[in-house]
Amino acid sequence: MPYSSKYVDLNPDRDGYLLFAAQLALGPTGTTLGNLGNIHDFVTRGDFYRAAEYAMPKGLRSYMETLRFAERGMETRAGIEMRDPTDFDMFDFLSNAMGLPSTEINQIRWTRGQQIEIEKWFTSQSSKIKRDYLAAYDARDRAGMAEARDEFRELNAARDRVRPFFNNSNQVIRRQPISNLLRAPRDRMREQRRMDSVMGR
């Protein structure tokens, strides 16, 4: 089936391109198959309406999604409300129902997607710095430990720089005290003792 945005979504990452190729080859069937993970996730959460949405071809899914927006607003997967139904006007609902999400809906989706990616990046970087610090600690590399401490401080400064993207909320990507890094060897030792106890060593 030729490419049609009615059936195919393109996400700019490796998995997105692979899924795009499958959807392009299989049309609506490929889109539905690609959504099996989403369907299972929503069934597990008890949200059968959203599971049914993802079982539909994209055109019909847009219509069902619009009905949900009008009744429940925009929610996260866990059912936490991001936008109230009254935040949208009739144009938003009509355009989304036709498979052409309004600027407002696209902006909310894009912003939330970027926020999630930013949070993942900070979590990943924090873990990497802690691993580097532990490796330097084990090697008695004082210069490496100092470098990890500097990177930790820089990461905290970066948290402050991206806070406006989270509406200046202090509830996400919070600054972490340097003590979190300094006590990493002791925390690892405590975790080792706990594991030894659990495994009977």
What is the Cα Rg of the chain in Å?
23
Rounded to 5°, angle at Cα 100 from 97 and 106: 105
User: Which residue do the tokens 């490496």 mark?
Assistant: 144
CA distance readout (Å), 52 to 30, 64, 105, 157, 187: 16, 9, 21, 43, 45
Digitized pLDDT (tens) for each residue of the chain, 201 residues in all: 343 444 444 455 555 555 556 555 555 555 566 677 778 888 888 888 888 888 887 778 888 888 888 888 888 888 888 888 888 888 888 887 887 777 888 888 888 889 999 999 999 999 999 999 999 999 999 999 999 999 999 999 999 999 998 989 988 889 999 999 999 999 999 999 999 998 887
Q: With a threshold of 0.85, does the pTM exceed it?
A: no
User: Residue written as tokens 């938003």?
Assistant: 92
Q: What 3-state DSSP class applies to 81?
A: strand
Residue 191 CB neighbour total at 10 angstroms: 10
Torsion, Cα of 113, 107, 38, 85 (10° steps)? 130
